[in-house]
Amino acid sequence: MNPGVRLNCDGPVATVTLCRPDVLNAQTPQMWRAMYDFSRELPGDVRIVVVRGEGRAFSAGLDLSVVSGRSGTGDSLAEMAALPPEECAERIAGLQAGFTWLHRPDLISIAAVQGHAIGAGFQLALACDLRVLTSDATFTMAEVTLGLVPDLAGTGRLVELVGYARALEICVTGRRIDAPEAERLGLATVVVPPPDLDAAVQDLAAAILNGSRDAVVEIKALLARASGRSPADQQRAEREAQTRRLRDLAGVGE
């Protein structure tokens, strides 16, 4: 059965494609579980994961069948609400894993975003390290319009990128953010005309692949943890990482 998402690997670049263009790539829990399974199937030489959507939108967010209770899989909002609180939270944790593997230190993840990225679509883009947007792309954190909260690991990433006050405003208003604003806020790594999306993603991937894999892994780890460290702790982490690189380059053993 097609879960609505597929994985293709081409050497060091893997592509995760949401493939439900008839419903603007609306997402389901089955898709999130499939994405987590992809993380365990990646060949060891993969360094970059590109996440994209077929058709004219990246993703319109949560599939309405999940909201309305017509999913038939036990994953509807009503069915989850009926679970004991601990079990419901555990169920959500499993779904979050379909997004958080994109944070892995050994990978650089790139979201290729065209058209709408709403709710879960916005959070999927936030799960990636970098975001390439077309000039017609829009972000919307629409969970509040359903009386829900963003729960797919998107809140922390949003605060890291735009700060608390702006993240709060984006989440509690559910307003639309167009590509120029996304670029100003730091949500977009680059904005390109729609016909240039594929080439821009390929150029970015090629530039990353030009760097030493081990150095890129160390750099990502340094930057990803910097906000949670004191300046002295960050400087110590830099020293330790550089020591590892110097010893590796010099062929010095343990």
pLDDT tens digits, one per residue of 194-218: 999 999 999 999 999 999 999 999 9
Specify the pLDDT at position 2.
Answer: 75
Mean pLDDT computed over 161-184: 98
Specify the pLDDT at position 167.
Answer: 98
Mean pLDDT computed over 55-70: 88
What DSSP character marks residue 145? Answer: G
Q: Please state, in angstroms and rounded to a whole number, the distance separating the CA atoms of residues 117 and 177.
A: 10
Helix (H) or strand (E) segment spanning residue 75: none
Instruction: Report in angstroms the alpha-carbon separations of 238 from 53, 217, 223, 225.
Output: 37, 13, 10, 11
Q: Please state, in angstroms and rounded to a whole number, the distance separating the CA atoms of residues 218 and 126.
A: 21
H helix intervals, the chain? 29-41, 64-68, 77-81, 85-100, 120-127, 154-162, 164-173, 179-185, 197-209, 213-224, 231-250
Which class for 84: exposed (0-12), middle (13-18), buried (19 or more C-beta within 10 A)?
A: exposed
Specify the pLDDT at position 91.
Answer: 94
Q: Please state, in angstroms and rounded to a whole number, the distance separating the CA atoms of residues 140 and 60.
A: 9
In angstroms, what is the C-alpha Rg of the chain?
19
Length of the chain: 254
* 14-32 residue pLDDT tens: 999 999 999 999 999 999 9
Judged against a pLDDT cut of 70, whether residue 34 lies above it is answered with yes
Q: Please state, in angstroms and rounded to a whole number, the distance separating the CA atoms of residues 224 and 217.
A: 11
Task: With cut-offs at 50, 70 and 90, classify the pLDDT of residue 75.
Answer: confident
Specify the pLDDT at position 67.
Answer: 82
Task: With cut-offs at 50, 70 and 90, classify the pLDDT of residue 71.
Answer: low
Mean pLDDT computed over 176-192: 98
| CA-closest candidate to residue 123, choices 87, 170, 89 | 170
